[in-house]
Amino acid sequence: MEPIVNRKADGDDLVNEWKALFGTLPQASMEDYVGKYLSKLLPDEPQLLEKRRDLKDRTERMQRAELLLTLETIIACDGNMNEMARALFIHRNTAAYRIEKLEKVLGLPLRQTDNLLRLKLAFLFREMLNSRR
C-alpha cells in the first residue's frame, strides 16, 4: 500500500515549495533531522536484519511499519483522527490507540500542530533523500 503522504493531491504546491526551499540543505542535515524524529519507527539496517530473525523481532518490525504508515496518514489528514481512520480502514478507537502509542514512542503530542509540522518536514526530507539515492 502506498503511503497516503506520498500521493500527490491536485494543487499541492506546498510540498513543491518546500522542496525548492530546502533543496539546498546538506544531505547530512536532512539525515540528522529524519533520524531525530523518525528513527524509532524506521526499519533496521540490512546487516542487523541478518542477525535478528526471530518471531519477536519480525513482529516488532511489522508494528513499527504499521505505526509509520499511521503517522504518515495522520499527517496527511492534518491531524484529523476520523479522516485518518477512514483512510486506513480502521475503527476510530483503533486510530486513537495508535496515536497514543505513537505519542509514547516518539515522545511528542501529535495533537499539537508544531509537532505535526516537524514530522511532515521529516517525511519530506526522507522523500528528498530517497530521491537523491
Distance of CA 58 to the CA centre of its chain: 19
Res. 55: pLDDT tops 90: no
CA atoms lying within 13 Å on the CB side of residue 21? 9
Q: Mean pLDDT over residues 46-53, rounded?
A: 53
47 or 119, greater pLDDT = 119
Helix (H) or strand (E) holding 125: helix 113-132
For the chain, strand residue ranges (E) read: none
Other C-beta atoms within 10 Å of 97: how many?
A: 13
pLDDT band at 60 (very low <50, low <70, confident <90, very high): confident
Element (H, E) at 19: helix 13-22
Rg (alpha carbons) of the chain, rounded to whole number = 15
Q: In 3-state terms, what secondary structure has residue 91?
A: coil
Q: pLDDT tens digits, residue range 92-107? A: 999 999 999 999 999 9
Instruction: Say what the pTM is.
Output: 0.82
Q: What is the pLDDT of residue 9?
A: 52
CA distance 109 to 36: 15
